[in-house]
Structure 1
């Protein structure tokens, strides 16, 4: 007979119920959950973030910085909380941040900001599907009005159309304010689709997601059209700083970048950089982001150049950075505190957070690439990353 996990329909998010579930685990498995049960906030805060709450996973948080950012939203020096269990990671990002700051700072720009839901509409034949695309253009204002009845901050920007067989795949593009917005745009798109269903009689049926939004997985369409925030971070590092702090020259870094990009191409990678997922994941975990979005957010395009003065220019474009300063897990106790360290909690702060993450990622690219060239990669892991 299956034994169900304890629940209370009236008061499930409580200290008592969390304790009951830990005792249930002990009874069923013999495992003690002494540390899982140690937390400092009201379990009621987790409603809407987790089910069957029984405790917390305590991930160490390190502090990196300061990093000097010349952004449109993030301006000045910032310390960045990073949650990780990988030794050397915080030290590496800290080293890259020092290099950036001593080089005058990193310029970061959010050049696009959009979230999608992509329904598919099925017809009797391809011509009906083609005509439906024309109908969508003609009725955009009605679709937009229906979609926006569900949200105060979400705005339908445009609808992309992609035809295949007797289907038409649509990508609804929304701006979502300071929320990541996946649930917001899902609800808005559903209402819009129901409006379309009521007003277009040729369609046979629709499915709310035809997978062209590529939620929780990366895709070429997101590299080109963006999903979340499209962030570009760039810095010019003086040759003497690169030599004195990292032990490498701009020429070595430039040649290494060309070689590594060939390797990335041959491997079919979605990232021509070194390890953007490391910094993004660590900041995501510290600040209450949806860590599954790292699958999309970690895609990146790097570009390097040598200036006429012999300095090293490096940029990284993150086409699908999905982050929020409001909603989701950002209001939880420790996550809120970490956002507040950077001045990024609440309304009006999402693009600031995106710029800080972009700067952090670039710091990691500089640090790891130079460590590989200078021979510090393995030795630093031996020194700092051996928790046996």
Structure 2
């Protein structure tokens, strides 16, 4: 990455300050002589384990910060954390209810949102109210699947092709191998991409009601072990994930494939509700959407949307999802259009909604309670939860674009964050 000369000069002045170049160079050298403190090898999340870990961190007899740990039994978190020292508390607000008329989600849903950002819950609540008063939003699952992409290196393109042909002609056997590792995951397809003598196998799975990242990793490991043992050509080396799956990142392939669940949500909002709740007009909101869409194109964003990540991060944390998956889940496209009767058509399409209602953090007490509040805890609810997530993202788009169009975005944040 390049920087202009003025910024480089400012950076150099900041780094050097009153220090000489030699002092800066010495400061940045590797230090292999000074002993460093080691974390105690204390396993588990029982109270004695946490106290031992805190004594190692602070010293014998030093008071433990009660906001992080006050002596409670943490064993319920044992399967979800290493080197546990307590918990971090986040406030959880509720927005809605949000009416969803989905292919799996049908009804009015409260949205538990865990965040420290003032104005966020208020904004999503406003969008949810507008959608609900308009009859709710339609939502549908368009595709499902989670991919793992092992990579194999060969001495030549010829070797790579022989290996790839063998793997692709034994998909039924590989499906059986994957089934030995999971009751719920199913290998749906294997695709491949080649770069010279490198081969990427794109293993596409369905994962039931789990988000499924660990599930597909374990299944793919078994598939690779079987291929290495049986294939007529052995790779020079290989890796179970070669970074072609899009895991926890926004990628250009988002709109040609799916990661998790591809979900679309839409609604028609009468002009009277735009004026009453957003203090603007459908025309003004479309004008803002058009300008912001071009702004996104100019800056190279993947997709065109205002702030999916805001609501999804808050919902993911509250409901026990993998928060890092917001990096991919927040990819998508928002579209606004004026209708003949001065109504506003709104839609949001999110191709990487990787969520689950079983496994991972969904079984922890607070997160389980949040899912229960929504009526979406446990098996059989992952698709409905994905549709609610997309509807929530759409509610957030309506509210923030309305705020921008009305010119009260700054005032709302000043009133709800700074002044309060």
TM-score interval w.r.t. the shorter chain? over 0.9
In the alignment, the residues of structure 2 paired with residue 57 and residue 325 of structure 1 have an alpha-carbon distance, to the nearest angstrom, of: 22
Aligned to 2:38: 4
Match of 1:285 among 295, 305, 317: 317
Aligned to 2:128: 97
In the alignment, the residues of structure 2 paired with residue 268 and residue 28 of structure 1 have an alpha-carbon distance, to the nearest angstrom, of: 53
Q: What is the SS of the residue equivalent to 1:241?
A: helix
Aligned to 2:10: none
In the alignment, the residues of structure 1 paired with residue 46 and residue 348 of structure 2 have an alpha-carbon distance, to the nearest angstrom, of: 44
In the alignment, the residues of structure 2 paired with residue 96 and residue 248 of structure 1 have an alpha-carbon distance, to the nearest angstrom, of: 14
Aligned to 2:151: 120
Deviation at 1:2, TM superposition (A): 4.2
Aligned to 2:249: 217
Q: Does 1:45 align with 2:79?
A: no
Aligned length: 385
* Map 1:1-388 → 2, pairs under 5 A: 1-9=35-43, 12-27=44-59, 32-38=64-70, 42-204=73-235, 205-386=237-418
Deviation at 1:126, TM superposition (A): 1.5
Q: Which runs of 5+ in 2 are unaligned?
A: 1-34
Q: Which runs of 5+ in 1 are unaligned?
A: none
Are 1:121 and 1:203, in contact at CA under 8 Å, matched by a contact in 2?
Answer: no
> Considering only CA atoms, is the larger Rg found in Structure 1 or Structure 2?
2
In the alignment, the residues of structure 2 paired with residue 50 and residue 287 of structure 1 have an alpha-carbon distance, to the nearest angstrom, of: 17
- Cα 1:309–1:37 change in 2 (3 A) is same
In the alignment, the residues of structure 1 paired with residue 190 and residue 39 of structure 2 have an alpha-carbon distance, to the nearest angstrom, of: 44
In the alignment, the residues of structure 1 paired with residue 280 and residue 57 of structure 2 have an alpha-carbon distance, to the nearest angstrom, of: 53
- Cα 1:31–1:89 change in 2 (3 A) is farther
Q: What is the SS of the residue equivalent to 2:160?
A: helix
In the alignment, the residues of structure 2 paired with residue 18 and residue 132 of structure 1 have an alpha-carbon distance, to the nearest angstrom, of: 50
In the alignment, the residues of structure 2 paired with residue 244 and residue 365 of structure 1 have an alpha-carbon distance, to the nearest angstrom, of: 17
Deviation at 1:3, TM superposition (A): 4.0
In the alignment, the residues of structure 1 paired with residue 40 and residue 229 of structure 2 have an alpha-carbon distance, to the nearest angstrom, of: 43
4+ aligned runs moved over 6 Å, structure 1: 28-31
In the alignment, the residues of structure 2 paired with residue 187 and residue 71 of structure 1 have an alpha-carbon distance, to the nearest angstrom, of: 32
In the alignment, the residues of structure 2 paired with residue 146 and residue 131 of structure 1 have an alpha-carbon distance, to the nearest angstrom, of: 21
Are 1:246 and 1:371, in contact at CA under 8 Å, matched by a contact in 2?
Answer: yes
Deviation at 1:327, TM superposition (A): 0.6
- Over the residues paired in the alignment, what is the CA RMSD in angstroms? 1.9
The more displaced of 13-22 and 99-108 is 13-22
In the alignment, the residues of structure 2 paired with residue 145 and residue 179 of structure 1 have an alpha-carbon distance, to the nearest angstrom, of: 20
Deviation at 1:260, TM superposition (A): 0.8
